[in-house]
């Protein structure tokens, strides 16, 4: 891809991991006038209002009501030397009453966001999900507690003490082409008309290239070759990294669809995709996804 970063990534945030082990410094950030706080409730982030879906990063000085109810306060890093904190609120049926702001899903509003804010908010959302899923130790069942500014959970079991680290599940996503033709599929649960390139999760003991070949064979029954890395995109919805590839197939091979995964799939000519109506009859992949970039990069070749 042409040197452009995917949505949900940023180069502006210094994660400053060395600071995570300095509790006094982090305590200081909670009351520092230049600290900013992004707030997560469930999978939603705090925005100014529904009609103005601008993210609401609170100054730490205005965040005392948030800090009081937060179950975790995470140090996310430094942006232009400004400390960025993530406050994770407890799960509840309805959003906690706050003086300011409304909780929205960033995936519905990413296009209104500055790309750096989208990356920081999705990072906080992904960490919030990990904390919720790892309250107990998978080895001994005892409760875990958050340490290292929210980047490690430590098992409280006396004879265990295992450290749990945030995890990311890699998935491959691959553009399969044959000359001027590109294979796209749709899944029954998708928005009307929505089409995408194929994707699937890595299994233990597989290389990424092997996953590409296996997933294409499982989902549409054809063999692909010339598998090449393209780029990757964090996808913390809830916990993936999408690793993008290109591959070549033969459009005359019969497609045998996996009915559990794929509602329909076929080869589309470049001109047909360039003329996509982008409506309920046919949509290219979501604009915030690497899938879209894989298709658009290919369309731009000719
Ligand atoms: Zn344990």
Residue 112 has what pLDDT?
Answer: 87
Cα 129 to middle of ligand 1, angstroms: 20
Q: What is the CATH number of the domain that holds 91?
A: 3.90.79
In the structure, ligand 1 is a single-atom ion and the residues with CB under 5 Å from it are: 137, 139-140, 155, 157, 160, 162
Check whether residue 181 and residue 271 sit in a common domain: yes
pLDDT digits (tens, 9 = 90+) for 278-289: 999 999 999 999
Average pLDDT over residues 100-126: 94
Cα 144 to middle of ligand 1, angstroms: 8
Cα 167 to middle of ligand 1, angstroms: 17
106 by DSSP, 3-state: which? helix
- Cα–Cα distance, 210 to 177 (Å, whole number): 17
Check whether residue 79 and residue 195 sit in a common domain: no
- Cα–Cα distance, 83 to 32 (Å, whole number): 9
The number of distinct structural domains making up the chain is 2
Residue 2 has what pLDDT?
Answer: 45
Cα 135 to middle of ligand 1, angstroms: 11
pLDDT digits (tens, 9 = 90+) for 149-165: 999 999 999 999 999 99
Q: Tell me which of 108, 133, 158 is where a domain ends.
A: 133
Q: What is the CATH number of the domain that holds 203?
A: 3.90.79.10
Check whether residue 114 and residue 52 sit in a common domain: yes
Report the candidate in 205, 227, 229 with the shortest Cα–Cα distance to residue 216. Answer: 227
**CA angle 159–164–167, rounded 5-degree value:** 160
Check whether residue 113 and residue 176 sit in a common domain: no
Residue 3 has what pLDDT?
Answer: 54
Average pLDDT over residues 180-196: 95
Residue 4 has what pLDDT?
Answer: 67
- Return the residue matching tokens 């707030």: 39
Whether residue 3 lies inside any domain: the answer is: no
What range does the domain containing 179 cover?
A: 169-299
| H helices present in 43-192, as ranges | 64-69, 106-109, 115-133
Residue 121 has what pLDDT?
Answer: 97
């Amino acid at each position: 891809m042409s040197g452009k970063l995917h949505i949900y990534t940023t180069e502006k945030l210094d994660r400053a991991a060395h600071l995570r082990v300095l509790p006094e410094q982090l305590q200081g950030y909670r009351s520092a006038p230049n600290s900013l706080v992004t707030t997560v409730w469930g999978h939603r982030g705090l925005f100014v209002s529904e009609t103005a879906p601008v993210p609401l990063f609170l100054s730490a000085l205005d965040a005392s009501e948030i800090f009081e109810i937060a179950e975790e306060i995470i140090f996310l890093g430094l942006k232009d030397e400004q400390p960025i904190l993530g406050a994770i609120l407890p799960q509840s049926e309805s959003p906690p009453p706050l003086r300011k702001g409304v909780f929205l899903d960033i995936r519905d509003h990413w296009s209104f966001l500055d790309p750096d804010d989208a990356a920081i908010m999705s990072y906080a959302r992904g960490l919030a999900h990990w904390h919720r899923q790892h309250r107990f130790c998978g080895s001994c069942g005892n409760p875990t507690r958050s340490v290292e500014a929210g980047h490690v959970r430590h098992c409280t079991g006396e004879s265990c003490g295992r450290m749990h680290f945030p995890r990311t599940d890699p998935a491959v996503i691959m553009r399969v082409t044959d000359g001027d033709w590109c294979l796209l599929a749709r899944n029954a649960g998708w928005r009307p008309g929505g089409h995408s390139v194929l994707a699937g999760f890595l299994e233990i003991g597989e290389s990424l290239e092997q996953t590409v070949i296996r997933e294409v064979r499982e989902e549409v029954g054809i063999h692909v070759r010339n598998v090449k890395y393209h780029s990757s995109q964090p996808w913390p919805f809830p916990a993936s990294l999408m690793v993008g590839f290109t591959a070549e197939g033969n459009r005359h091979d019969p497609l045998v669809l996996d009915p559990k995964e794929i509602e329909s799939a076929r080869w589309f000519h470049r001109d047909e995709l360039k003329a996509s109506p982008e409506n309920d009859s046919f949509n290219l992949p979501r604009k915030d996804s690497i899938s879209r970039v894989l298709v658009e990069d290919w369309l731009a070749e000719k």
